[in-house]
Amino acid sequence: MRLLSEDNIDDIAIGAAILGSGGGSDPYIGRLMAREAIRKYGPVALYRLEELDDEDLIVPAAGMGAPTVIVEKLPAGDDLVRAFYALGKYTGQMPCATMSIECGGMNSIRPIYLAARLGIPVVDCDGMGRAFPEIQMTVLTANGISASPFAMSDERGNVLLMDAVSNKWIEVFARSCVMHMGAVGAIALYAATVKQLKEAAIHGTITLAEEIGKTVRNARRKEMNPVDAVREAVGGYLAFRGKVSDVERRVSGGFAKGSAQMTGSGRFEGRALSLYFQNEHLVVRVDGKYVATTPDLIAVLDAETAVPITTEALRYGMRVAVIAFPCAPQWREPAALKLVCPRYFGYDVEYVPVEERFN
């Protein structure tokens, strides 16, 4: 166990946004919320799964919706508390701790905010090791853990509880309702015991995010190249450097969907990149050739500072570097891969691990 204070939050948010692969929402807002909560309620205990009792019940908490809308509607946080308590009440057992369901600038931080407010610990793990747009897209699903019971609340005070026959059905009903919540809701889901999570979750991702965030910060101080420092820290590949020449984006079906075009510079001079996203970056092509696809991670970084740029923040004229890096190995198992492979999202390409594409 270690305590997370205000000082840890910035590094975690930046690192988690890089792991978020363009999704999981902008790190700035989550950071503000969590810093304020820690200032008010004190530091948050971060536990490794190994430090908890096997029978302890853990309930992940997150925000759901279109990130383009989330940045316009600063959440008060009461919705998250309501969803978490509703789930506890429904299961008849109050959770011992919370955790992230995905890595992302906001969805790694929201559980820390919740933990500060409620005085409970956060567990150092998550369900994706990155961010994905749909509820059932977790390694927990692939390991037979149910997203039900699922609780959802909005800024108005509405509370929905769902007990569905599959995790995909939770996605269907919750997505339909979140659109009526103004495209933003707070959710609690995938209640699981420590024993289940030891086998199924992706371990240590809060600490990993913090280390990546620290790398970005230190590289800036030491006047290293921050993009290279991040690429090394995540064990990844430089897929592109250049300028954003076009961004097409729409909110559709409760998601922020779209694509971006970039023109190369430096050793990528004369080359063109296309990036496709649905809340998260899903596939990237250079000169028409796929260089990385889901579930491997694709991060768009500011070319100078390596600060991650989420899908909703991407703008014409930005100078960026695109790095691609391997997903958590659990995603490469067949049961997990079929949940998030390129074809699931409608891209006519097989998944090939990013290491093979670059070697």
Site residues, its own copies (CB under 8 A): 86, 90, 156-165, 169, 172-173, 176-177, 179-180
From the CB of 99, what's the least distance to its own copies, in Å? Answer: 24
Shorter beta-carbon distance to its own copies: residue 2 or 180: 180
* DSSP 8-state secondary structure symbol assigned to residue 21: T
From the CB of 209, what's the least distance to its own copies, in Å? Answer: 34
Task: Pick the closest to residue 137 from 168, 104, 110, 162 (CA basis).
Answer: 168
Query: Can you give the C-alpha Rg of the chain in angstroms?
Result: 19
Based on the number of CB atoms within 10 Å of its own CB, is 280 exposed (0-12), middle (13-18) or buried (19 or more)? buried
Report how far apart, in Å, the C-alpha atoms of 258 and of each of 47, 125, 132, 246, 252 are: 37, 30, 15, 11, 10
On whether the CB atoms of residues 105 and 310 are closer than 8 A, the answer is yes
Shorter beta-carbon distance to its own copies: residue 172 or 318: 172
From the CB of 333, what's the least distance to its own copies, in Å? Answer: 27
Shorter beta-carbon distance to its own copies: residue 59 or 197: 59
From the CB of 86, what's the least distance to its own copies, in Å? Answer: 8
From the CB of 63, what's the least distance to its own copies, in Å? Answer: 18
On whether the CB atoms of residues 136 and 173 are closer than 8 A, the answer is no
On whether the CB atoms of residues 214 and 229 are closer than 8 A, the answer is no
Shorter beta-carbon distance to its own copies: residue 165 or 288: 165
Strand segments, DSSP code E, in 253-344 are 255-264, 272-278, 280-286, 289-293, 297-302, 319-325
193's enclosing H/E stretch is strand 192-193
On whether the CB atoms of residues 230 and 301 are closer than 8 A, the answer is yes
Shorter beta-carbon distance to its own copies: residue 163 or 246: 163
Shorter beta-carbon distance to its own copies: residue 40 or 156: 156
From the CB of 85, what's the least distance to its own copies, in Å? Answer: 12
